[in-house]
Structure 1
Amino acid sequence: MADRLAAFVEATAARPWDWAAENCTFWVADWGLVRWGVDFAARYRGRCRSEEDADALVGGDLVALVSPEIPLPRKGAPAEGDIGVIEFRGRQVSAIWSGSHWLIRTPRGVAMVRAQAIAIWGD
């Protein structure tokens, strides 16, 4: 798993930020497509053009928005490669568990953060 995740991060980290195609949630959904063969964000791609659009779509509760789209079991603790929603700087953001930190996509690239998960999914 570590090699697959590292390859994914390396391949995607330098992509330019784009609210419509390359944001924190779509990045995690891209990982879901690689790992599980399912695009958790298929229904939402192209619906956001700005941060305001994303905020309006999420409505402050990213977990409620993405939960119906993720056909994986919820978990109490993450394993390497699992996905989740974490609280980061006052916002809910999608993340991937590296085994020691949560990985998030930011406008500057990929960041490793320590945070409490609000929800975790995996196998």
Structure 2
Amino acid sequence: MADRLGAFVEATASRPWDWAADNCTFWVADWALMRWGADFAARYRDRCRSEADAAALTAGGLVALVEPEIALPRKDAPAVGDIGVIEFRGRQVSAIWSGSHWLIRTPRGVAMVRARAIAIWGD
């Protein structure tokens, strides 16, 4: 799993930030699609074109938005490649567990962070 995740990060880290196609949540959804064959962000891809759109969509909380779309069991602790929503700098952010850190997509690329998980999903 670590090799697949590493290849995914390497292939996607240099893509330009794009609210409509490659933001923090869509990046994690792309990983979930590759890993589990399900795109939990499918219904939101056409509705998010800007930071304002993202803020409006997540106004009720990112977990509340994505959890109904994720057909994976919720977990207490992550395994490599699991996905989650973390608290980072006062915001809820979609992330992928690397085994030692959460990986997040930012406008500057992919970052490794230590943060508190609000929700974790995986198999």
TM bracket, shorter-chain basis: over 0.9
For normalisation by structure 2, the TM-score amounts to 0.98
Which residues of structure 2 form unaligned runs of 5+? none
CA drift of 1:116 comes to: 0.6
2:58 pairs with 1:40: no
Q: Deviation digits for residues 64-85 of structure 1, max 9, x if unmatched?
A: 0000000000000000000000
Secondary structure of the residue that 2:16 maps to in structure 1? coil
Greater helix proportion: 2
Distance in 1 (CA, whole Å) between partners of 2:41 and 2:19 is 13
CA contact (8 A) 1:60 1:92 kept: no
CA contact (8 A) 1:85 1:118 kept: yes
Q: Deviation digits for residues 84-118 of structure 1, max 9, x if unmatched?
A: 00011111000000000000000000000000100
For this pair of structures, how many residues does the alignment match?
123
CA contact (8 A) 1:78 1:122 kept: yes
Which residues of structure 1 form unaligned runs of 5+? none
Secondary structure of the residue that 1:111 maps to in structure 2? strand
For normalisation by structure 1, the TM-score amounts to 0.98
Q: CA RMSD in A?
A: 0.6
Distance in 2 (CA, whole Å) between partners of 1:72 and 1:18 is 26
Correspondence for 2:23 = 23
Distance in 2 (CA, whole Å) between partners of 1:103 and 1:46 is 24
Distance in 2 (CA, whole Å) between partners of 1:48 and 1:30 is 15
Distance in 2 (CA, whole Å) between partners of 1:44 and 1:15 is 20
Correspondence for 1:108 = 108
Correspondence for 1:75 = 75
Identity of aligned residues (%): 86
2:19 pairs with 1:13: no
Distance in 2 (CA, whole Å) between partners of 1:109 and 1:103 is 10
CA drift of 1:46 comes to: 2.0
Secondary structure of the residue that 1:95 maps to in structure 2? strand
Secondary structure of the residue that 2:78 maps to in structure 1? coil
Correspondence for 1:119 = 119
CA drift of 1:122 comes to: 0.2
Could you list the structure 1 runs, at least 4 aligned residues long, displaced by more than 3 angstroms after superposition.
none
CA drift of 1:60 comes to: 4.4
